[in-house]
Structure 1
Amino acid sequence: MVIDISSIPVSEVRWRGSVRIIRSIFPPIDLFEDIADPADWPLIISAEQKTNPRLMETIGNLDLVPEKRRVAGSGASYLMAPFTHVSTDRPSRFSDGTFGVLYAGNIFEVALFETIYHQGQFMARTNEPAGWTSQFREIVLEINAHLHDLRSNEVDQSGLLLPDDYKSSQTLGFQLRASDSDGIVYPSVRYSGGECVGLFHPDGAANPIQGRHLDYHWNGTKVDLYRDATTGQIFRIV
């Protein structure tokens, strides 16, 4: 299905305290954190590959991010990694997995409910026993981008915001990214009243800071609790 993208308004989105939650198993990538000028990265990678053949497993496919859209410095891994580590085995709402999208919620609860849904889907699919599961980390960041806006009642959202069917929304994501869109802002499907962004380039976000470490509890049917690993506080998800 081809969607008329000219019918979708573009809005300036500036969020402070936006939240993204990711798995804790992924460490920061030194290249993105320590080398200030992205223009130097290709030469450094070429030199390093001669002595470190596993380097590309860490960095991913840098060619997927245009040089002018790359970011560097403290916290840059949190912005770059979603775009350099992609796979058709990991499609998302607005991508079939051939290109990256950085998703974030406007508040913590949005990011929490979005991630516990997907964690629950994974746990059910793999028939995991009940108990505390994978560790996650909260990333607090700023969103500064002009995004195609699905929040308006004037936009035909039919098929684009379905709970589990991503066919139409992936088509839209492909069309918008091909037209050089910065990304999409849309109502959260998992948390009523919340909003999400899906950025097509890392420079649509800035100043990422690691927040809390979180543990999710799987009761055999759903994720029913989360724990702040720093304080030990446990919260029920309702």
Structure 2
Amino acid sequence: MSYPTHKFDDQHCYRLIPSKYPPISLYEDVADASQLDAVFAIEALTNPRLTEEVGNFASVPVEERLVGIPHCSYVMAAFTHVNPDGARFNTADFGAYYAAPDVHTAIKETVHHMERVMGYTQEPAQDIQMRCIDAWFNAELTDITDQTYLDSELYHPTNYSHSQVFACSLKSEKQDGVVYQSVRHQGYNCYALFKPNLVTKVCQSKHYSYKWNGKSVNAVFEMQLV
């Protein structure tokens, strides 16, 4: 079955990650993706925690790796530190860079997933600092934003089995990824990129504080220097 596609050029997108995760200089210091394995081997001789920091970059094909640009490690981390359960459009076998063209959509998406994790582990009330990663990408994404797809199991709120099968099919065909409607912010879109090097530019922008009250995230504040 063929699906419609949408071409994006220099598309701006937003992704929120916990501020506790620092950039990984290895990806940014390597100019050529084919040199990454050799540089890693050398660096690992003096940094025993390097494997934990950079994750499993061997799972990312050399021709798809993103290296040598500022903050690219934030993109690579989405592919080298993969949730064992996967997510809507990826499994434990491959990562995806999830982002949104509207920062409020990115916030709503992360709030939902944070509430699931924090609730499951019964974390006490606390403030969680998040940083916004702005990125720009070029890609031709499979477009499932039409109502025909919105009514399908691809958009099940909690069961990702159908959407993961769909994603595996696209991945096997070397497709760039998916543009889909957010399940957490109705009427707004999200992106799932299957290749890190679709991203051409990355920067850090705003910082936010998520207020976890022990049961839910009941407020989100933008943090500013005064």
Q: Within 5 Å, give how 1:1-238 maps onto structure 2.
A: 6-14=1-9, 16-72=11-67, 73-88=69-84, 90-132=85-127, 134-155=128-149, 157-231=151-225
CA distance in 1, matches of 2:83, 2:107: 23
CA distance in 1, matches of 2:40, 2:10: 34
CA distance in 2, matches of 1:207, 1:64: 22
CA distance in 2, matches of 1:121, 1:64: 27
Spell out, residue by residue over 1:88-140, the C-alpha distance to the aligned partner (whole angstroms, 9 max, x if none): 1x4211122221110001110110000001111112112223342x2111011
CA distance in 1, matches of 2:118, 2:65: 34
- Checking the alignment, whether the CA contact within 8 Å between 1:15 and 1:106 is kept in structure 2 is no
- Checking the alignment, whether the CA contact within 8 Å between 2:54 and 2:77 is kept in structure 1 is yes
Consecutive unaligned residues in structure 2, runs of 5 or more: none
CA distance in 2, matches of 1:110, 1:11: 20
CA distance in 2, matches of 1:96, 1:43: 28
Structure 1 counterpart of 2:80, which letter?
T
Task: State percent identity of aligned pairs.
Answer: 36
The more displaced of 114-123 and 148-157 is 148-157
In the superposition, the TM-score normalised over structure 2's length comes to: 0.92
Structure 2 counterpart of 1:51, which letter?
T
- Checking the alignment, whether the CA contact within 8 Å between 1:87 and 1:98 is kept in structure 2 is no
CA distance in 2, matches of 1:155, 1:164: 16
- Checking the alignment, whether the CA contact within 8 Å between 1:94 and 1:172 is kept in structure 2 is yes
In the superposition, the TM-score normalised over structure 1's length comes to: 0.88
Give the aligned partner of residue 3 of structure 1.
none
Consecutive unaligned residues in structure 1, runs of 5 or more: 1-5, 233-238
CA RMSD of aligned residues (A): 1.8
The more displaced of 138-147 and 11-20 is 11-20
- What SS does structure 2 have at the residue aligned with 1:137? strand
- What SS does structure 2 have at the residue aligned with 1:116? helix
The more displaced of 18-27 and 47-56 is 47-56
CA distance in 2, matches of 1:44, 1:128: 39
